[in-house]
A and B are shown apart, each in its own frame.
Chain A
């Protein structure tokens, strides 16, 4: 049994939509079988207006226990740190979050906007958006580097744009079944159980990555998307290709370059010219970024060797 309050700040509701796609458990099963009690949610909550404001006040006053605060969307602080670009229930949202975070058992940031600012925080950051405990790669964010919830943990970050429904439901289940002590978080506060392997793990293009056979849009045959169209699978920690999306596929399996959305700093390079669906390269064709953990020179040598191997060619997948 756990009481959950879900709020949205500078949000697109994409994480809520992703959450509603959940299976095993579905959202309804989370409530009926796992004893999750959703105190309020912007998309499904029945209370309105004063009823919501009273609930928030009761939580802050300690009259209603809030075991988990789920926050989706960026913390909007603009203009000039007033937060008035995002009023909610008659106050700047950031004021509600400040007070609610003091009484929360655990705080879970869902999606890139809540974790580290996401797209709203791309310069010039017109809404002065930031994440709950990070701003891009820098620890701090809205609640500050030293924040810990009543349960003794900093903000638990479930990044992704959006987060996968399994990451959301399983962290809620972990808290509600008393497994939170087993959740270990990394330097960016991500649960290691979901964010240790790379997106490349389980990618159907991995053989072509090793042999440096390039793919591209509209082409069959699982050519690798790393060299030409900016795939970030080797630099991005997430279980997308292990658990799949919507139980069917993943970006890279559908010939869509990984955008690196579970790493702080997404969208990477702040959308600068030449960074969208193109691999950023140095003169001579060397990719600016190499797979995480690889020695740059060793990687270039090995990749260059594979590139000139005449035996490497795309294994053509038939259309039928």
Chain B
């Protein structure tokens, strides 16, 4: 079989515009290029504007991660202005971030990811019938249950932020709201509804507490087989079908992970500084190079633009030193020369390395043996990464693994709110530089701001999708999704669902397109939207 080129445009069920070009040799992907296909210039829009513009503008970069952008935007101003944050303010911000992520788990799993498992590619597998019955789009038995339940966690967000998506309730110095007892009790009730409607009966088939006893991959396998209820839960089925369908066999990626961490502890970040951030995180930050953990330092983050559609910028600059974007002429995937500029995404690097961001990166950091008492200490994915390595399967398992823990966190944080305490401390506005970060549902998110003469001089946003979907860097090293596609077997070039599955396992936040070409003749075989 000859080398083929596959162009897929559009690649649906990711958020935003992504095109992917893959070269196929003997049925396997040998080269891949990801192309972000849409430019709005939000950072440029904020130049010269009110320093608080990010609170309104950045949540609207991404309707899925709006609360996460808000968490970053308010934190960046906190560090620039040297605000004070009360325990209540930190708790309510963490609850907002956590409820947005909790929402995203069933919504992403059913609406975006699992429908691919109902693809005809898997029709000869024994579990295929059961998968289709449950997870086929719109008509699957638990598709509707999961999608409907996904609206519940953001009802909690709405109690404190007014609405989801697109609230701006986190502001430098705290939060806008001052909830009363009835808001707290209502939030508890909604959370319980989420557990009773979906999390325990449909997803786990056991109690949250039982699930959280799992510490190793062997524990996990034993949990699946422990009883019928767990075996037949949606998670039980995912684990069995995922292994049967071979999802653990492709989509490995770069094997290096980056997390900016999130959930600033209520008593440890009352005087926000960039230096004090790592120690105050409940879900820890860090860089894992495949063997060793390294402490996260935002000054080691840089962006490359050699292969991005931006002009007048040097490679490898830290965000504070980056100029606002000067867009270059873009082209369609078919007419793109991949030796040159080919994406609206920049290529972020940590200490020079491409790194995967996302839930898998997050749970890998949670397994860091150096994590402190107040931080998540969960060895499970340290073990899974050693035994299974990264793959589509591991990535999805990491994503859904967080639901029970986030549930418990929200419950705990609600109970810690002091109704007699303060929620907001008015800050003094001044010029300076700031940095704010979090973990959006889909990974590391960070904002850098510089304020001069009372207006925004520079604003840089680095999203998890930028980390994952970014193109090659200045040394032509590919990005994480480009790498993860390598070696993937494409069974049917006319329906290259495998490319979609890999890209969707990263939960990319742009609308993706993949094009397949015969590498020798250049004839286009097919294209699709991820």
Interface residues of A (CB under 8 A from B): 8-18, 20-23, 26-28, 31-32, 40, 42-53, 74, 76, 78-79, 84-91, 118-120, 122-127, 129, 161-162, 216-220, 240, 245-256, 259, 267, 270-277, 317-320
Whether A13 contacts B11 in the complex (CB less than 8 A), given A245-B163, A256-B162, comes out as no
Instruction: Enumerate chain A residues within 8 angstroms of B334, measured Cβ to Cβ.
Output: 90
Smallest distance from the beta carbon of B320 to chain A beta carbons, Å? Answer: 21
**Binary contact track B420-455/A, C-beta < 8 Å → 1, others 0:** 101111100000000000000000000000000011
Q: Are B39 and A127 in contact (CB under 8 A)?
A: yes
- A240 to B166 Cα, complex, angstroms: 14
Whether A86 contacts B176 in the complex (CB less than 8 A), given A20-B147, A46-B137, comes out as no
Residue of A nearest to B15 (CB): A13
Within 8 A of A (CB), among B219-245: none
Q: Are A87 and B37 in contact (CB under 8 A)?
A: yes
Instruction: Enumerate chain B residues within 8 angstroms of A245, measured Cβ to Cβ.
Output: 158, 162-164
Interface residues of B (CB under 8 A from A): 7-13, 15-17, 19, 37-42, 44-46, 49-53, 55-57, 60-64, 66, 89, 107, 111-112, 115, 137-139, 143-144, 147-148, 150-151, 154-155, 157-169, 171, 173-178, 180-181, 186, 190, 325, 327, 329-334, 344, 419-420, 422-426, 454-455, 497, 500, 511, 513-515, 526-530
Q: Are A52 and B12 in contact (CB under 8 A)?
A: yes
Q: Are B12 and A42 in contact (CB under 8 A)?
A: yes
Set A53, A256, A320: member contacting B176, Cβ < 8 A = A256
Instruction: Enumerate chain A residues within 8 angstroms of B15, measured Cβ to Cβ.
Output: 13, 42-43
A sample of 13 more A-B contacts (CB under 8 A), given A90-B334, A218-B425, is A21-B164, A47-B528, A85-B330, A87-B9, A124-B45, A218-B174, A245-B158, A248-B155, A249-B162, A256-B161, A256-B169, A259-B168, A271-B56
Q: Are A87 and B330 in contact (CB under 8 A)?
A: yes
Taking each of B164, B180, B333, which has the highest tally of chain A beta carbons within 10 Å of its own beta carbon? Answer: B164
Q: Are A31 and B41 in contact (CB under 8 A)?
A: no
Q: Is the interface of A mostly helix, strand, loop or mixed?
A: loop
Instruction: Enumerate chain A residues within 8 angstroms of B62, measured Cβ to Cβ.
Output: 12-14
Smallest distance from the beta carbon of A50 to chain B beta carbons, Å? Answer: 5
Taking each of A17, A48, A320, which has the highest tally of chain B beta carbons within 10 Å of its own beta carbon? Answer: A48
Set B16, B147, B526: member contacting A49, Cβ < 8 A = B526
Q: Are A87 and B17 in contact (CB under 8 A)?
A: yes
Smallest distance from the beta carbon of A247 to chain B beta carbons, Å? Answer: 6
Q: Are A119 and B60 in contact (CB under 8 A)?
A: yes
Instruction: Enumerate chain A residues within 8 angstroms of B138, measured Cβ to Cβ.
Output: 28, 31-32, 44
Instruction: Enumerate chain B residues within 8 angstroms of A274, measured Cβ to Cβ.
Output: 50
Set B63, B190, B423: member contacting A14, Cβ < 8 A = B63
Q: Are A48 and B8 in contact (CB under 8 A)?
A: yes
Whether A217 contacts B162 in the complex (CB less than 8 A), given A14-B66, A43-B112, A87-B19, comes out as no
Instruction: Enumerate chain B residues within 8 angstroms of A26, measured Cβ to Cβ.
Output: 144, 147-148
Instruction: Enumerate chain B residues within 8 angstroms of A219, measured Cβ to Cβ.
Output: 178, 424
Q: Are B50 and A254 in contact (CB under 8 A)?
A: no
21 contacts between A and B (CB under 8 A): A9-B38, A14-B165, A32-B138, A43-B12, A49-B527, A49-B528, A52-B529, A76-B39, A79-B329, A87-B37, A120-B40, A124-B45, A126-B40, A126-B44, A127-B40, A162-B63, A162-B165, A218-B425, A250-B162, A251-B163, A256-B176
Whether A277 contacts B171 in the complex (CB less than 8 A), given A87-B332, A91-B332, A246-B154, comes out as yes
Q: Are B49 and A272 in contact (CB under 8 A)?
A: yes
Smallest distance from the beta carbon of B419 to chain A beta carbons, Å? Answer: 4
Total contacts A-B at CB 8 Å? 302
Q: Are B174 and A12 in contact (CB under 8 A)?
A: no
Instruction: Enumerate chain B residues within 8 angstroms of A251, measured Cβ to Cβ.
Output: 162-163, 167
Instruction: Enumerate chain A residues within 8 angstroms of B163, measured Cβ to Cβ.
Output: 240, 245-246, 249-251, 254
Residue of A nearest to B169 (CB): A256
- A281 to B529 Cα, complex, angstroms: 49
Q: Are B161 and A319 in contact (CB under 8 A)?
A: no
Smallest distance from the beta carbon of A93 to chain B beta carbons, Å? Answer: 8
Taking each of B7, B41, B61, B526, which has the highest tally of chain A beta carbons within 10 Å of its own beta carbon? Answer: B41
Whether A48 contacts B178 in the complex (CB less than 8 A), given A87-B19, A254-B160, comes out as no
Set A16, A74, A122, A275: member contacting B63, Cβ < 8 A = A16
Set B40, B139, B148, B166: member contacting A161, Cβ < 8 A = B166
Q: Are A277 and B161 in contact (CB under 8 A)?
A: no
Q: Are A89 and B529 in contact (CB under 8 A)?
A: yes
Instruction: Enumerate chain A residues within 8 angstroms of B423, measured Cβ to Cβ.
Output: 217-218
Whether A277 contacts B424 in the complex (CB less than 8 A), given A18-B165, A28-B138, A49-B9, comes out as no
Smallest distance from the beta carbon of B401 to chain A beta carbons, Å? Answer: 23
Residue of B nearest to A22 (CB): B151
Q: Are A126 and B511 in contact (CB under 8 A)?
A: no
Q: Are A220 and B38 in contact (CB under 8 A)?
A: no
Closest 5 CB pairs of A and B: A49-B528, A218-B424, A14-B63, A48-B528, A126-B41
Instruction: Enumerate chain B residues within 8 angstroms of A31, measured Cβ to Cβ.
Output: 138
Q: Are B45 and A120 in contact (CB under 8 A)?
A: yes
Instruction: Enumerate chain A residues within 8 angstroms of B331, measured Cβ to Cβ.
Output: 84
Instruction: Enumerate chain B residues within 8 angstroms of A20, measured Cβ to Cβ.
Output: 107, 111, 147, 150-151
Instruction: Enumerate chain B residues within 8 angstroms of A88, measured Cβ to Cβ.
Output: 10, 17, 37, 511, 513
Whether A126 contacts B45 in the complex (CB less than 8 A), given A13-B62, A44-B13, A161-B60, comes out as yes
Instruction: Enumerate chain A residues within 8 angstroms of B41, measured Cβ to Cβ.
Output: 120, 126-127
Q: Are B63 and A48 in contact (CB under 8 A)?
A: no
Q: Are A217 and B175 in contact (CB under 8 A)?
A: yes
Instruction: Enumerate chain A residues within 8 angstroms of B514, measured Cβ to Cβ.
Output: 48-49
Smallest distance from the beta carbon of A26 to chain B beta carbons, Å? Answer: 6
- A95 to B180 Cα, complex, angstroms: 51
Instruction: Enumerate chain B residues within 8 angstroms of A318, measured Cβ to Cβ.
Output: 180
Taking each of A11, A124, A218, A253, which has the highest tally of chain B beta carbons within 10 Å of its own beta carbon? Answer: A218
